[in-house]
């Protein structure tokens, strides 16, 4: 239960660390300002842009002019700038500190990348302008492709997938196409370890494959015996993440790849964790047939509150022919994009997305690669792994690692250190917020009870890691002391909001503002989702 | 190695805390045969900021920027003026470098702007609800068909000939591998097309673009009625969102799902991506909608706040039973879009649409005067189709040589259709000046 507060004044005030309310007239808390929705602050007659009077012409709209107002608010530029600046201040960000989201990988986003992506020659070019006028853009795509192929040791890459999960779709479509070309479309089973990201089974199922889970061993690896037992003439592919979501390298990977190939199936590697091995291990040497690469995770493209992503897919020789359009090709006259096939049959995959892919992300990723170089990328993987193992070693004093070490880029704990304390995994994570940190990934992977997955990445300093570890060790000791259970359950108390009622949001969805909207009220469920 | 904070002293101290002698020991689970010895060939070593800037600027300089001269290229991506404050605000680190708002207490900034974004989309499409964005409209259109298949439990989609051919290709690819039927209606560049006659009891949805890829503006109400009478859904695709500042919204014409490309506001051309897909539908279909949703709720103090919601539809919970495999959105592009639209507001959005339309009318009328050129459109918003006396693709190249990017040859989008070889798509937005129009008319006269 959370502490109940007097809400009779409309504004509830804020809760101090000691649990007492300190109401202010405005509801603001010093620089933490309450902010209305734009729809509650607009005035007719205000506008944040100046546009000229349109020339008078007879319209050609077929009598289909909009009748009545849209309902958009009117705000002047300073109001808009203040609004979004205030909103920004209610966000945690990698620019502020440690952001240890395991499997999501938040690393420093260099501003040089932003500068390069905004050069007019990249940002202000149209995908359908004459190809002769965009030779540099094709060159950039090809150069990024060269880096990706060389780093992964794979012969081909499909650049167009818009995000990691889209890349999974691309890779699994290529596998389906290759099987169809072999006349083996009866292979309908895809083996997916239980620790996989939810996108893996979702992608396979969307393409009509039957998903067969493969269990994990007690030490957090894929159960190779179970995997081999599941291989047969019905199996199309295995989707394996390596390093896996337990933060471990699948040490039997070569044996797995051989068994998969011997059974006539393909090996899809989920490349979400490629950042742990870039420059040190080439997936091509592991027997991988295709692997998507989340550019933001390994090559630092910014994630802006959730996207945009970019998920190029590297492909083995066996699958290269099934890459979707467009294909970027070079001949004596220069670069070309082969945009369309002569028929869908002549080009098994067709097209996954309009135009040429996430160019704005390509630019940033290439700037990052060139900044690090082949030497630096190796160091990236090493520092990421070193940082994760350091965090694991230090936190092991009070927390319980799920498996023995070493880990790769992320350290996985279970919640057994909280046993009998009355503090839940969620409480513990929320308490980190008051200490000034974004919580780690919770309850994932599913194979570990009360999982706490910490990924520090290579761009955190030792000082930052020590501060982070000290805070977590303090919280772990505090939880075990048994004297502060209520503090944990009330956390966070100093964030812009206290625990939000997620159950209410799902049960009575309010997905847009309406003039009559009042904040939803539903007293019995008005408590934090536990 | 300016992005790597660890010093060698740090590294050795950390190794000793871990209890290993070298970082290689941490990689001991990697089989010996899979370890890369030495460094990777053919890739350069690290470069300073100045060097990277120089190398990539040189590459950028090989491209002709849209702002470098008269520019009339559209067909699904449009050049518009973006107010300076948009790019300034999206570069704030708290937005730029934040992740998916899984911890709502410290991501209210992202959650609130997405809630505002969803509201804006619902308002100008005339729909009940919108999601927090898709990759782009082409992939959004394929997801809309999949959603219609779920809702109707049918598996035949009818695709308008006026749908952007690359969107059509994305839907056809999805159909091929996700097991439904996609029936393409014949292309008619003059805009004549009777989709209603093709709707039958097997039809899950009709996908139609308005304005069409050729620029025609249609009243979709009769088509909506035909769809609904047959138990099918109407999916309306909008590639130029600015049109909705002036045109009757798809929701008012009876659309069940609206998919739109938001690139025109805030995002910029970016050589085709990243863009931002807008996706809106009726309230009753909300649990079948793909993508991420933000909802309003209260916190433990009863204060209004926002959270990601209805995630039981999503892959991280339902795994192989999820409504789609999508696990992200286009957050930062959605932010740019919503800031631009907030700056415009009711008055500015309408004014921008009127300005686009009037500029296009002037452009069309001027080009129709060029000898041998005829205008195929009786109706359009800011893009229209010209019939030229010769193949359009080489004409566009010759225009480019004269410094004018004059449009998209339809053959680029439909290379297999000889009937479109002499057709040219011309887009005119608020960025086109009278001098630009005169330059295009003059250059076109010279090259024809």
Contact A308 B315 (CB under 8 A): no
CA–CA distances in Å: residue B47 to residues A139, B4, B52, B53, B56: 19, 14, 6, 10, 12
Complex ipTM:
0.97
pLDDT at B37: 85
When scoring B136, B182, B282, B297 by the number of chain A Cβ atoms within 10 A, the one with the most, hence best to mutate, is B297
Closest Cα partner for B290 from B327, B260, B345?
B327
When computed from its CA atoms, the radius of gyration of chain A, rounded to whole angstroms, is 26
Listed by number, the residues of chain B in 12-31 with a beta carbon closer than 8 Å to a beta carbon of chain A are: 13-15, 17-20, 23, 25-31
Closest Cα partner for A495 from A22, A35, A89?
A89
Helix axes B434-447, B331-368, angle to 10 degrees: 60
Whether B52 contacts chain A with CB within 8 A: yes
Whether B86 contacts chain A with CB within 8 A: no
Find the helix or strand (DSSP H, E) in which B237 lies: strand B233-238
Contact B109 A46 (CB under 8 A): no
Contact A96 B271 (CB under 8 A): no
Phi/psi region, residue A216 (left: phi>0; alpha: psi -120 to 50; beta: rest), is beta
pLDDT one-digit tens code per residue, B255-267: 999 999 999 999 9
In this model, does residue B360 exceed pLDDT 70? yes
Closest Cα partner for A137 from A115, A121, A154, A153?
A121
Contact A116 B56 (CB under 8 A): yes
Sign of CA dihedral A419, A423, A426, A431: negative
Size of interface A-B (CB pairs under 8 A): 751
Q: pLDDT tier at B310 (50, 70, 90 boundaries)? A: very high
Determine the distance from the C-alpha atom of residue B196 to the mean position of all C-alpha atoms in its chain, rounded to a whole number: 27
pLDDT at A366: 98
Q: Which residues of B touch A16 (CB under 8 A)?
A: none
Q: pLDDT tier at B25 (50, 70, 90 boundaries)? A: very high
- Who among B39, B269, B309 is closest to A505 (CB)? B309
Contact B173 A324 (CB under 8 A): yes
When scoring B12, B19, B22, B34 by the number of chain A Cβ atoms within 10 A, the one with the most, hence best to mutate, is B34
Q: Which residues of B touch A355 (CB under 8 A)?
A: 76-77, 138, 166, 271-273
| Strand-strand pairing, A156-158 and A327-331 | unpaired
Distance CA B205, CA B187 (A): 18
Q: Is the pTM of this model over 0.90?
A: yes
Q: Which two tokens stand for residue A133?
A: 């006028």
pLDDT at A521: 47
Distance CA A109, CA A491 (A): 29
pLDDT one-digit tens code per residue, B398-412: 999 999 999 999 999
Whether B213 contacts chain A with CB within 8 A: no
Per-residue HEC secondary structure of B263-328 comes to CCCCCCCHHHCCCCEEEEECHHHHHHCCCCCEEEEEECCCCEEEEECCHHHCHHHHHHHCCCCCCC
Phi/psi region, residue A51 (left: phi>0; alpha: psi -120 to 50; beta: rest), is beta
Q: Which residues of B touch A78 (CB under 8 A)?
A: none
Of B38 and A433, the one with more pLDDT: A433
Distance CA A525, CA A232 (A): 50
Residue of A nearest to B22 (CA): A386
pLDDT at B433: 98
Sign of CA dihedral B98, B101, B103, B109: positive
Q: Please provide the distance, in angstroms rounded to a whole number, between the alpha carbons at the two ends of chain B.
A: 56
Contact A135 B62 (CB under 8 A): yes
- Who among A83, A128, A495 is closest to B105 (CB)? A495
pLDDT at B41: 80
Whether B84 contacts chain A with CB within 8 A: no
pLDDT at B427: 98
Burial of B284 (0-12, 13-18, 19+ CB in 10 A): exposed
Contact A72 B349 (CB under 8 A): yes
Q: Which two tokens stand for residue B343?
A: 């700056």
pLDDT at A3: 40
CA distance B441 to chain A (A): 18
Whether B180 contacts chain A with CB within 8 A: no
Angle at CA A347, nearest 5°, toward B212 and B175? 55
Distance CA A262, CA A502 (A): 48
Contact A80 B85 (CB under 8 A): yes
Instruction: Give me the percent of chain B exceeding a pLDDT of 90.
Output: 94
Which residues, including other chains, have CB under 8 Å from residue A334's CB and lie 6 or more apart? A131, A132, A135, A138
Contact B95 A91 (CB under 8 A): yes
What residues does B408 pair with on adjacent strands? B425
Contact A376 B1 (CB under 8 A): yes
Distance CA A59, CA A57 (A): 6
pLDDT at A342: 41
Whether B284 contacts chain A with CB within 8 A: no
Q: pLDDT tier at B313 (50, 70, 90 boundaries)? A: confident
Listed by number, the residues of chain B in 385-444 with a beta carbon closer than 8 Å to a beta carbon of chain A are: 396-397, 400, 405, 408, 412-413, 415-416, 430
Which residue in this structure is represented by tokens 């979702």? A202
Contact B307 A505 (CB under 8 A): yes
pLDDT at A527: 38
Neighbours of A481 (CB within 10 A): 10
Whether A520 contacts chain B with CB within 8 A: yes
When computed from its CA atoms, the radius of gyration of chain B, rounded to whole angstroms, is 25
Query: Residues B221-249: what's their mean pLDDT?
Result: 98
Q: String of b and e for B9-21 (b: at least 16 CB within 10 Å)?
A: ebbeebbeebebe
Distance CA A170, CA A174 (A): 6
- Kindly give the confidence (pLDDT) of every residue in chain A, 530 residues in length, as a single tens digit, with 9 standing for 90 and above: 334 343 333 344 444 444 445 578 888 888 888 999 999 999 988 999 999 999 999 999 999 999 999 999 999 999 999 999 999 999 999 999 999 999 889 999 999 999 999 999 999 999 999 999 999 999 999 999 999 999 999 999 999 999 999 999 999 999 999 999 899 999 999 999 998 999 999 999 999 999 999 999 999 999 999 999 999 999 999 999 999 999 999 999 999 999 999 999 999 999 999 999 999 999 999 999 999 999 999 999 999 898 899 999 999 999 998 988 888 888 888 998 887 654 334 555 789 999 999 999 999 999 999 999 999 999 999 999 999 999 999 999 999 999 988 999 999 999 999 999 999 999 999 999 999 999 999 999 989 999 999 999 999 999 999 999 999 999 999 999 999 999 999 999 999 999 999 999 999 999 999 887 655 544 334 333 33
Q: Which residues of B touch A74 (CB under 8 A)?
A: 345-348
pLDDT at A1: 34
Q: Which residues of B touch A430 (CB under 8 A)?
A: 105
Whether A406 contacts chain B with CB within 8 A: yes
Whether A204 contacts chain B with CB within 8 A: yes
Listed by number, the residues of chain B in 223-242 with a beta carbon closer than 8 Å to a beta carbon of chain A are: none
Contact B123 A133 (CB under 8 A): no
pLDDT at A522: 44
pLDDT at A341: 57
Which residues, including other chains, have CB under 8 Å from residue B414's CB and lie 6 or more apart? B165, B187, B420
**A336 phi, psi to nearest 5 deg:** -140, 150
Question: Is residue A451 within 8 Å of A444, Cβ to Cβ?
Answer: yes
pLDDT at B42: 87
Whether B38 contacts chain A with CB within 8 A: no
When scoring A22, A60, A168, A529 by the number of chain B Cβ atoms within 10 A, the one with the most, hence best to mutate, is A60
Residue of A nearest to B250 (CA): A66
Contact A353 B292 (CB under 8 A): no
């Amino acid at each position: 239960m959370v502490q109940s507060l007097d809400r009779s004044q409309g504004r509830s005030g804020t809760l101090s660390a000691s649990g007492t309310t300190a109401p202010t007239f405005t509801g603001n808390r010093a620089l933490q300002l309450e902010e209305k929705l734009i729809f509650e602050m607009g005035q007719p007659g205000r506008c944040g842009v100046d546009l000229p009077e349109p020339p008078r012409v007879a319209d050609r709209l077929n009598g289909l002019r909009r009748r009545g107002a849209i309902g958009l608010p009117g705000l002047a530029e300073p109001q808009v700038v203040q609004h979004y600046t205030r909103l920004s201040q209610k966000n945690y960000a990698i620019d502020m500190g440690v952001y240890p989201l395991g499997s999501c990988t938040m690393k420093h986003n260099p501003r040089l990348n932003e500068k390069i992506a905004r050069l007019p020659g990249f940002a202000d070019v149209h995908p359908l302008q004459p190809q002769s006028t965009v030779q540099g853009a094709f060159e950039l795509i090809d150069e990024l492709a060269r880096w990706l192929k060389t780093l992964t040791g794979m012969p081909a890459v499909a650049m167009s997938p818009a995000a990691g999960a889209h890349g999974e779709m691309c890779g699994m479509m290529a596998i389906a196409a290759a099987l169809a070309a072999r006349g083996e479309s009866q292979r309908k089973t895809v083996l997916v370890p239980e620790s996989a990201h939810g996108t893996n089974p979702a992608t396979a199922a969307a393409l009509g494959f039957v998903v067969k889970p493969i269990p994990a061993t007690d030490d957090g690896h894929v159960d190779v015996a179970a995997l081999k037992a599941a291989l047969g003439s019905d199996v199309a592919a295995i989707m394996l993440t390596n390093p896996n979501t337990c933060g471990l390298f699948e040490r039997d990977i070569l044996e797995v790849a051989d068994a998969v190939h011997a059974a006539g199936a393909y090996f899809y590697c989920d490349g979400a964790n490629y950042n742990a091995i870039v420059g040190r291990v080439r997936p091509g040497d592991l027997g991988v047939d295709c692997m998507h690469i989340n550019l933001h995770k390994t090559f630092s493209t910014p994630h802006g509150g959730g996207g945009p992503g970019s998920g190029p897919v590297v492909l083995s020789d066996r699958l290269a022919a099934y890459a979707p359009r467009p294909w970027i090709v070079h001949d004596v006259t220069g670069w070309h994009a082969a945009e369309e096939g002569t028929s869908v049959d002549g080009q098994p995959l067709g097209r996954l997305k309009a135009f040429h892919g996430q160019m704005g992300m390509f630019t940033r990723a290439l700037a990052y690669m060139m900044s690090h170089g082949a030497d630096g990328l190796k160091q990236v993987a090493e520092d990421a792994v070193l940082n994760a193992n350091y965090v694991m070693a230090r936190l092991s004093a009070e927390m319980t690692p799920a498996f023995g070490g070493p880990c790769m880029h992320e350290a996985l704990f279970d919640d057994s250190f909280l046993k009998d304390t009355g503090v839940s995994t969620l409480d513990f994570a929320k308490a980190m917020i008051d200490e000034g940190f974004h919580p780690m990934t919770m309850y994932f992977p599913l194979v570990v009870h009360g999982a706490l997955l910490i990924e520090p990445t290579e761009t955190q300093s030792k000082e930052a890691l020590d501060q982070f570890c000290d805070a977590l060790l303090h919280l772990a000791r505090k939880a075990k002391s048994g004297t502060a259970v209520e503090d944990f359950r009330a956390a966070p108390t100093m964030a812009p909001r206290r625990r939000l009622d997620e159950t209410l949001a799902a049960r009575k969805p309010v997905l847009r503002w309406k003039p009559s909207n009042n904040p939803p009220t539903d007293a019995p469920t008005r408590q934090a989702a536990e | 190695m300016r992005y790597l904070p660890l010093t060698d002293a740090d590294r050795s101290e950390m190794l000793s805390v871990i209890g290993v002698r070298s970082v290689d020991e941490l990689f001991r689970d990697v089989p010996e045969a899979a370890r890369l010895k030495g460094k990777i060939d053919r890739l350069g070593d690290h470069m300073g900021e100045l060097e990277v800037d120089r190398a990539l600027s040189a590459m950028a300089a090989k491209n002709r920027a849209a702002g470098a001269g008269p520019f009339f290229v559209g067909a699904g991506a449009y050049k518009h003026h973006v107010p300076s404050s948009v790019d300034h605000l999206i570069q704030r680190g708290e937005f730029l470098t934040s992740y998916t708002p899984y911890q709502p207490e410290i991501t209210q900034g992202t959650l609130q702007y997405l809630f505002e974004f969803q509201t804006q989309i619902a308002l100008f499409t005339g729909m009940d609800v919108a999601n927090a964005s898709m990759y782009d409209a082409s992939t959004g259109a394929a997801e809309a068909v999949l959603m219609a298949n779920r809702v109707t439990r049918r598996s035949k989609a009818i695709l308008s000939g006026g749908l952007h051919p690359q969107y059509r290709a994305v839907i056809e690819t999805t159909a091929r591998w996700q097991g439904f039927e996609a029936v393409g209606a014949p292309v008619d560049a003059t805009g004549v097309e009777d989709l209603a006659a093709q709707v039958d009891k097997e039809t899950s949805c009709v996908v139609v673009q308005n304005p069409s890829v050729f620029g025609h503006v249609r009243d979709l109400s009769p088509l909506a009625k035909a769809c609904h009478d047959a138990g099918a859904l109407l999916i309306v695709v909008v590639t130029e969102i600015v049109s909705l500042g002036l045109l009757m919204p798809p929701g008012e014409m009876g659309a069940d799902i609206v998919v739109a490309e938001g690139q025109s506001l805030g995002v910029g051309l970016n050589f085709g991506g990243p863009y931002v897909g807008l996706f809106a539908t009726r309230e009753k279909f909300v649990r079948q909608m793909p993508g991420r949703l933000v909802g309003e709720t209260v916190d433990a103090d009863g204060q209004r706040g926002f959270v990601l919601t209805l995630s039981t539809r999503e892959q991280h919970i339902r795994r192989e039973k999820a409504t789609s495999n999508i696990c992200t959105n286009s957050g930062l592009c959605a932010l740019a879009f919503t800031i631009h639209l907030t700056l415009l507001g009711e008055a500015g959005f309408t004014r921008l649409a009127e300005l686009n339309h009037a500029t296009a009318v002037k452009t069309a009328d001027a080009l129709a005067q060029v000898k041998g050129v005829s205008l195929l459109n009786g109706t359009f918003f800011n893009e229209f189709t010209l019939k030229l006396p010769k193949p359009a693709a080489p004409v566009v190249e010759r225009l480019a040589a004269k410094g004018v990017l004059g449009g998209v040859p339809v053959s680029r989008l439909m290379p297999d259709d000889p009937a479109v070889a002499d057709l040219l798509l011309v887009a005119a937005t608020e960025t086109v000046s009278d001098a630009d129009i005169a330059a295009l008319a003059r250059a076109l006269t010279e090259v024809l």
